Amino acid sequence: MAYLFTSESVSEGHPDKVADQISDALIDNFLAFDTDSKVACETLVTTGQVVLAGEVKSKTYLDVQKIARETINKIGYTKGEYMFDGNSCGVVSAIHEQSDDINRGVDRASKEQQGAGDQGMMFGYATNETENFMPLALDLSHRILIELAELRRENKDITYLRPDSKSQVTIEYSDDNIPQRIDAIVVSTQHDDFDEDETMLAKIRKDIVDILIPRVVAKLPEQIQILFNSDIKYHINPTGKFVIGGPHGDTGLTGRKIIVDTYGGKGAHGGGAFSGKDPSKVDRSAAYATRHIAKNLVAAGVADEVLVQVSYAIGVVEPMGIFIDTYGTCSFNMTDGEIAEKVSKIFDMRPFAIEERLKLRSPMYSETAAYGHMGRNNETVTKTFTQPNGEATTLDVELFTWEKLDYVDKVKEVFGL
């Protein structure tokens, strides 16, 4: 029997994502001037206020207040009427030195013997239902909000948008797990105040359905475009007026959108957040590494769908183990345990090896902090960072290295494909 599956996304202006972006902007600035920085930074945002807290071990000094304000302005909170803007909000820092008890388990005389920055289990997932090997419902949810943000910045076809928004997409699947159609789309977007509520709601609905959705569809591959039809149920700002939003409408915290950040509820999640953590924290680095494994396995034809789990003990170099689940979609006669054994020989999952393989000690994290950490485009960009004393550094930074299909040939060789 056919079934429905739903995933959601939130925009860069959502309060939790504002917090994530500030935390990751701090990570990038620390790594830009000291690649060995150890950082765990949490951010809280609320009406007119930002609170920074966490632990840092670094040779560099940053103006964290300035970085927070620049991040907020870049998102689009630049007006006093939002009750939260980068130029006037208060920024309080309670960042302090990293515990020596934690650091001694991570830093070793030999970098290759670097221990895991924490215990826990991390998951990576991939499916062949989309070109970027991501679950379709989540991929579409992200795309809707990315396009909505483009419309907001253009300020041309739709001129009343504010930064906070959410989306949700429900897909109907067949018994053999093939997407059949889009059942429902939810979009809630913050907007300027209107004189007449009913007129406002009708206009927003029309603009979302007639302007936003066609722009999203036009950028999709043909096999996904055909899933859109006139029978889709649209819920546009279903509660009505949405003028009060962002950190003024709802307090935001770092790490509170981990399902949006990963696979939209498909696969599994170990529970650890990503943003605000340097790559010695395996919550982040191993989650990227397991995604890298899962994506390369699916792309190589090992299975149509793959879940990878790895687990660690704090301060211990080698992982506790690697688990593979192909959901019965393996293309040849091999058990998931046998696949896991081969995977452990292809991919070195020691923390330092992960950092080296995926180039995680570069300032690559601001781009991850909105619209998902997985399924993004691997590209190289140029970034410039400036310290309080005016010293600047310009770097070429490779983004989303865990999305590369650079191990497909190796996987095929080991599995005889």
Residue ranges of the annotated binding site for L-methionine are: 55, 98, 250, 281
Say if residues 307 and 290 touch (Cβ distance below 8 Å). Answer: no
Query: Would you list which residues are annotated within the binding site?
Result: 14, 16, 42, 55, 98, 164-166, 241-242, 250, 256-257, 273, 277, 281
Cβ contact 204:186 at 8 Å? no
Which segments are annotated as binding site for ATP? 14, 164-166, 241-242, 250, 256-257, 273, 277
Show binding-site residues for Mg(2+): 16
How far is the C-alpha of 140 from the C-alpha of 213, rounded, in Å?
Answer: 10
One-letter amino acid identity for 221?
P
CA 120 centroid distance within chain: 19
Cα separation values, 244 from 15, 69, 139, 165, 247, Å: 12, 20, 27, 11, 9
Nearest by Cα to 95 from 35, 51, 31, 50 = 51
What are the binding residues for K(+)? 42
In 10 A of CB 290, how many CB atoms? 31
Longest dimension (CA), the chain: 67
Closest CA to 32 of 61, 52, 69: 61
